[in-house]
Structure 1
Amino acid sequence: MCRWAAYLGEEVFLEDIVTAPCHSLIAQSHCAQEAKSPTNGDGFGLAWYGGRAEPGLYRDILPAWSDPNLKSLCRQIRSGLFLAHVRASTGGATSRANCHPFVSGRWAFMHNGQIGGFERIRRALEATLPDALYDQLEGTTDSELFFHLMIDEGLDDDPQGALERATARVVSAARRAGIDPALKLTAAFSDGETLFAVRYATDATAPTLYTSSFRDGTGRCIVSEPFDRENAEWQPVPPSSFVVMTRADIVIRPFAPVSERRPVAAE
């Protein structure tokens, strides 16, 4: 599984989260404490928002701990909203196109988890995409395909609903293929204004997720695992939760695929 961190607030240097803390994302790339594997060396990526609507993007296949360019960029780039990811592949080659985050227009998306049985349902899921979205696919990961399912489900207008409907599509595809759904989905995504995240799994083992304020409340973080346990109050996000983070507030809502929603009882 992968490790990732996202930030929203006043502009900070990316190094304040990605490289400088004692248990920074780079430290987690070779010594994760809350993942199945401590090593996340199958590439890394950054997506950050600045003066343009679409995010900047930097990805490479080197382990994050061994790329001096990453450290240099993080020392120089300031942003009020960014996503950073270190990859431990659960499928798909180690290639730049398979490294997170993935970007489409103003949206950036990154994922920790996997679609179980993906090779058995990948073709069926790809076939549900319209040509324009299918042509945007650059890599071979379940994560990138899931992101495009979200876009197809109306991400621009309804982020949580799009995520719930995309999740339902994956679950339904697994059932049609005769396999038990096995989706692990701890992801973050943004349109450049709001930071969204989800923690969900079809079983009882959703990958970890935490939120915290940063630098006396001038910013907020959401991460796979804490990068500094001494100077921040990390709050675990419960499983089956959807997070909406703005510069003013954090809202955590229940999350479930559309097919698993319980009907509202009549009054």
Structure 2
Amino acid sequence: MTGSDGTRVDLHVKVLDGGVVERAKARGLDVLVYAPHFTRWPTIERQAETFSDDELTVVPGREIFTGPWHDRRHVLALDLDAPIPDFITLDGAMAELRRQDATVLAPHPAFLSVSLGREQLLEYRHVIDGIEVYNPKHLPWHNRRAQSLASELGLPAFASSYAHLPGTVGEVWTTFEANLRTASDLAEALEDGTRRRLFHRSGYSHRTRKLLEFSHLGYENAWKKFDRIVLSGMEATHPGHVAYGGRFDDVRVV
């Protein structure tokens, strides 16, 4: 339920279950954007609807892995009309996002080898609706660099918990000065640059959550995951999956 001070949104989480929902509510969130890895859009939509209620709106999101595994660039998309696979070219993904008139966000910019860098942000800034300038996986200089990029490019900033671990949900949020009740409301607010304020918790507990999330990167980028996602070729979001009907064969990279 939106409060008098605006709508509190955690704009990017990877986990969702009953416990996550209860934690989000306890942290005073109104909206949660659920964008798990390697999960097809229809599944994400169903899960988001299942866990939404009058107190918390769960909005489906899709973090698309563009490019090959060793040089992948993540793009966070909301308000899709149709599924988009991973491991297609960045140009191909952006063209499809433009075609669908989707809401496009740049998570963790210029972060390691998994993000849009300054060159890509500059090239696609007419498509991008916001840049993430704080999440717990960032180290301090990552946040400063992200803030500098948002300012340089004149793009709205946002913050999220980027929670891969349930305990991180609600550690960070963006408060929009608008009453956002639906996924469409949030997409419109992001695209229109609606006024917002960025918040994160502080103190020992928050520092611990940051350390745990940063440490989790090792697991996220393990060879086992590479083998499961890339070499098996049978993941749900692989561009060769039968669900995509060959639509992305001309821009696939694996």
Same fold (TM over 0.5): no
User: What TM-score comes out, normalization by structure 1 length?
Assistant: 0.29
- Which of the two has greater helix per residue? 2
TM-score (norm 2): 0.30
